[in-house]
A and B are shown apart, each in its own frame.
Chain A
């Protein structure tokens, strides 16, 4: 019996660093701060979903535009995401 192997596209640390324009060391730091959510492959190396490139860009814009330090950006991102969810729910309610 055969199984189709569906491997989700993942970027390794170096390609991710290249895609985001970050130094790999900076990527590790953002991971340590819990701002990026990488997975680990079979060899235990960090792997990133392509959607995480946009996450890094948002972190970067918040850091540069508002001078928020990296530790605090986690809170800001969580709050922004929550507001977005609530606003979407609110739009759903006002429809009726």
Chain B
């Protein structure tokens, strides 16, 4: 478990902040990180941390004890002198953490009881009144964005993702995920209280821009560079698709901008027909012509009556 942050740091207030300042900082943070307002999977832990910090710092007595003893203040009996405690801690540390000196006090001796559970603390602090007619509360749904490359979206497969907040999760991505599709992971969302079911985690997939492919729904668009003679005479050329190489037949007399459709070569569809792959023709010419090529082009220019800008 990560080291616990200082409660003042959590609320973003100084050590000598007054009660109003603490309350103000808490209200602002809790609005931003409430699990029903903020769907980020990291928000829930943040919310709990903020609530815990406030529950301690909002009460003058617990705050005083927190200032004196730090995070362990619940383990310290009420009548201990802070300076003495610090000395004992230092000593215990030197004796390899044998600090059992204070553990002998029975739990009942303490103001708070031992091992205060976070859920109890949350339940308690949200007004004891609520506890009576509210039972266990199921957790909130959370949302996270999952960015996939075109190839990953095409093939699917298992993938380990790290959620904001640090939780790692292995997810099964179905083949043929589209942009904006939601993958629902039941029970992986916010925690429920008192053993109530957790919420769901919705992964919203985003397909990352690709240097060659552009995905629209299940259709994939790519440009198809052709030599002028291939475009004029027709050809069968190889084109890369996410599913592997495909052959595309270029009919004679194809100009730039024409889209050649490869049926079924787009994104797979678990429920129906797969999308199409569109290869958009772009006629390329050599940047530098050899003497022979130049001669042939000049010959073609002299012979041809073709005018691409002709107004008929």
Q: Which of A's residues lie within 8 Å of B, judged by CB?
A: 20-23, 26, 53-54, 57-58, 60-67, 80, 88, 91-92, 95-96
Contact = CB atoms under 8 A, between A and B. Distances in A.
B30 A64 contact: no
A20 B193 CA distance: 12
Nearest to A73: B36
Max count, chain B CB within 10 A of own CB: residue among A58, A60, A67: A60
11 contacts: A57-B137, A60-B134, A61-B36, A63-B130, A64-B127, A64-B134, A65-B36, A66-B31, A80-B36, A95-B180, A96-B216
Interface of B: 30-31, 34-37, 47, 51, 126-127, 130, 133-141, 179-180, 192, 196, 199, 204, 216
Contact of B34 (A21, A66, A88, A95): A66
Given A54-B138, A95-B179, A95-B180, A61 B133 contact: no
Contacts of A22: 133-135
A63 B133 CA distance: 13
Contacts of B199: 54
B37 A80 contact: yes
Contacts of B216: 95-96
Contact of B180 (A21, A66, A92): A92
Contacts of B137: 21, 57, 60-61, 64
A62 to B, nearest CB: 6
A70 B37 CA distance: 16
